[in-house]
Structure formats: C-alpha cells, structure tokens
Chain A
Amino acid sequence: MRAGSFTPPTSSWLWSALVFAALALPAKVLACPVCSPGRDDATTQAFLSMTIFMTLLPLTMFGVIVYWLVRRVRAAELAAVGPELAPTTEE
C-alpha cells in the first residue's frame, strides 16, 4: 500500500462490524451531559435550537459577505470594460 492512501475494507465481516458500530455507538458516545434524553423538553429544545442558531449564524454571515464581494467584483469588471462591451442576455 502506498503511504498516505486509504484502501476501503472489502471483506463482508468488516463491513458488518462498521455498520454495527455506526448503529450502536452513537448512544454510547453522546458526550453532552445536559442535552441527552431524560431532560425536560424545554431545555432539550433550547439546546437544540441554540445549537442550530450558533451553527448557522457564522455561515450566514460569511455567505452574505462573499455574495456582497462577488457582486462588487462583477460590478468592477463591468465598469472596467465599459458598458458597450458588457455581455447581454440576448446572445
């Protein structure tokens, strides 16, 4: 095997073990001690909603700034070539 490469397992028993581990382990490795089942619904819901909020907020912010920069790049390119050379939609 070449160093650094990954060869997927081919034997059926190994695949079975991986599938079993994927199905069985998540409940065992649940690391968060306060958002696990058994807590009251309001707290669990608050953890879930705030996790989603804190995850999506930076992604949304970066998405907005990238979109804004792309628009400014396009506007600058069109301004550089002049309006008579700007591509039209009819072609």
Chain B
Amino acid sequence: MTAKVLHIATKMPAARRRQLAPNGVIGMIIFIFAEMMFFAGFISAHTIVKSGAIGGWPPPGQPRLPIEQTAFNTAALLASGAMLFFAHRRFSKDPAGARVPMAIAMALGAFFVAFQGMEWAALLNEGLTVTSSTHGAFFYLIVGAHAAHAVAALLALLYCFVRLLQRNLVMPQLMAAEIFWYFVVAVWPLLYWRVYL
C-alpha cells in the first residue's frame, strides 16, 4: 500500500492549480453563510420575544396570520426548487431542454412573491403594521427580508434564463444562481414554522 501511495505521489503533477469549484459558486456559498446567520439572528430574537410575550402570541387584538394559505404558497415555493433541480439535470445533458423547467421554476417563484404581496395587503387592511405590535414588527421584518432575497434570487435566475435563451449560459453561472434560490427555498419552511405556526 505504501509503495503504491508513493508511486501515486510521484505521478502527481508538480504544480496542481486546478480549481476545485468555480469562483462564483464559492462566492455565493460565502454570501449564503452570511445570510443564514442574518436569518438565524432574526429567528433567535423572534423566538425569545415570543416566549416572553404576556397574554399569548400573537398579542391580543392583533390579526392571526393566514396559516393555510401560506402553507399552499410554501408548497409552490418547494415545487419551484424541485423544478430548478430538474432544470439543472436537463441543462447538464441538453441545455435547450432546461428552458421549460427553468421557466416553470421562475413562474412558481414569482407566484410565491406575488402571493406574499397579496397576503401583506390583506394583513395591513386588518391592522397588522410594523408599529402595531412586536408581532407585526417581526412579521414584516422577517418575511420582508425573505421576500427581498426571493426577488433578488429571481432576478439572478432571470439573468441566467436570458443567457440560456441566448445560448450563452455556462454551468458555473447557473450553479451560483441555483444556490441562491435553493437558499431562499430552504430557509422558508423554517421561517414559516417559527413565524406562522
């Protein structure tokens, strides 16, 4: 075994400067790490404030959050992530074949954002505002931050989609945008569990 390892070592190229992962992917992973801590801070603060709330949570007189409708919206977002995964697999074999699943993934993501917007409008009409209570403040802060990330990730996917139509899309670009969208998809169930339920 030792002799074989030495044999392998002597066969190694002298200067190994092969890139382990594309720069865009590494950069996006670092960005996602920072964003995960950003949302973890929100969740931590929300959990502690919620546990110490006097009179129950949500506070008395504040509207209840639409749990069932948002569960449906959560399913749409998860389906969007699944479609993007499918698009990735198609892209690696036949780039043109990734157009339809990627378009569906983006449409589902846009539906999620639009549905959230309608939900916000309804809650504002019911009296839940940023200043109405800590419940409202946390809700708009956490869900709003997630919506901002969803819009940014959708723009990244749109950029990739345009390049795909122009036949200029390369895998590292798609992977970076994908990681961003997977983060948006993966963090949402946690936010839904902590904020809505």
Main SS of chain A's interface residues?
helix
Main SS of chain B's interface residues?
helix
When the two chains form the complex, which single residue of B11, B37, B48, B52 contacts A50, counting CB atoms closer than 8 Å?
B48
Within 8 A of A (CB), among B7-30: 7-8, 11-13, 16, 18, 20-21, 29
Q: How far is B6's CA from A81's CA once the two chains are assembled, in angstroms?
A: 12
Q: Is the CB of A54 within 8 A of B41?
A: yes
Within 8 A of B (CB), among A40-91: 40, 42-43, 45-47, 49-50, 53-54, 57-58, 61, 65, 69, 72-73, 76-77, 80-82, 85-87, 91
When the two chains form the complex, which single residue of A40, A61, A73, A85 contacts B52, counting CB atoms closer than 8 Å?
A40
Q: A90: shortest Cβ distance to chain B, in Å? A: 10
Contacts of A53 in B (CB 8 A): 40, 43-44
B86, CB-defined interface residue at 8 Å:
no
Q: A88: shortest Cβ distance to chain B, in Å? A: 8
The size class of the interface chain B forms with chain A is 20 to 34
Known: A50-B44, A76-B18. 4 other contacts (CB 8 A): A46-B51, A53-B43, A54-B44, A86-B8
Residue contacts A-B, CB under 8 angstroms, 28 given: A40-B52, A42-B51, A43-B48, A43-B52, A45-B51, A46-B47, A46-B50, A47-B48, A49-B47, A50-B43, A50-B48, A53-B43, A53-B44, A54-B40, A54-B41, A57-B40, A72-B21, A73-B20, A76-B18, A80-B12, A80-B13, A80-B16, A80-B18, A81-B8, A81-B12, A85-B11, A87-B1, A87-B4
